Structure 1
Amino acid sequence: MLESYLSSFEGVLIIVTHDRYFLDKLVEHLFVFERGGHIRDFPGNFTQYRLQQEVEAQQAAEQATPQETKSTAPAASQATRQGNRKKRRSYREEQEFQQLEQQIPQLEGRIAELEQRMSSGSLNNEELLKAGEEIAQTQQEMEQVSERWFELAAIEEEA
């Protein structure tokens, strides 16, 4: 409910959260607080920022390694091919990714259903407490599922 309200809001929002899925749905621009007190201005959402970080880290690692001689070139190309294989999702990871894609809307639906029940005014105090606990537990599960989904999605983006 909050997400739909905020997405229809016409003004500027400042969002501070650990919920990456929530950020990706609402954010178009980031101010990232980095080490040393530096604030990075990044146009895009959290997933795009994370992918950009990985690309920059990979480029920095490539620049840090000395140029290889011709005698090691075949070994290096084989290592590169093996590295590329590791960046693709395995069959098990692909199955998990598909399962998570189905699970996320179910969890969102459950949270919305519980919020609707709580705001209906028909629950007594005990039922409200139980619904509140269930929402907290479901939101925590949603955060874990979303985080794993982002990890698996990043693997596919890298390949």
Structure 2
Amino acid sequence: MELLEEILTDYQGTLLIVSHDRQFIDNTATECYLFEGEGRLNKYVGGFFDAKQQQANVWASKAVEEQAKAKKTEVQKRRKCGEK
């Protein structure tokens, strides 16, 4: 497996690698594309574990944004109720 990883990492062209071996992907990939539901395919820089960390960061940021949006909506609803 190490020989294959070495050959692939030395190759200067583009390769599409599909594997269930996450460590193999991590050792050979410089970009990862992850399917994220609803037909979305997102690109991340680095190997598999880098991609999963970046994905988690994106999801965490979106969760914070959604919480802030929900809080703002709740405040607006309370203000409207107080005005009546």
Q: TM-score range by the shorter chain?
A: 0.5 to 0.7
Q: Structure 2: which amino acid aligns with 1:40?
A: N
TM-score (norm 1): 0.37
Determine the C-alpha separation between the residues in 2 that align with 1:4 and 1:59. Answer: 36
Q: Structure 1: which amino acid aligns with 2:63?
A: A
TM-score (norm 2): 0.63
Q: Structure 2: which amino acid aligns with 1:18?
A: H
Q: Structure 2: which amino acid aligns with 1:57?
A: W
Determine the C-alpha separation between the residues in 1 that align with 2:50 and 2:20. Answer: 16
Please identify which structure carries the higher strand content: 2
How many residues get paired?
A: 67
Identify if the C-alpha distance between structure 1 residues 4 and 64 changes in structure 2 by more than 3 Å, giving closer, same or farther. Answer: same
The one of 57, 60, 69 aligned to 2:59: 57
Higher relative contact order (CA 8 A, sep 6+): 1
The one of 42, 47, 64 aligned to 1:45: 47
Q: Structure 1: which amino acid aligns with 2:9?
A: S
Unmatched segments (≥5 aa) in structure 1:
68-159
Unmatched segments (≥5 aa) in structure 2:
73-84
CA RMSD of aligned residues (A): 1.9
Determine the C-alpha separation between the residues in 2 that align with 1:34 and 1:13. Answer: 21
Q: 2:19–2:25: 8 Å Cα contact kept in structure 1? A: yes
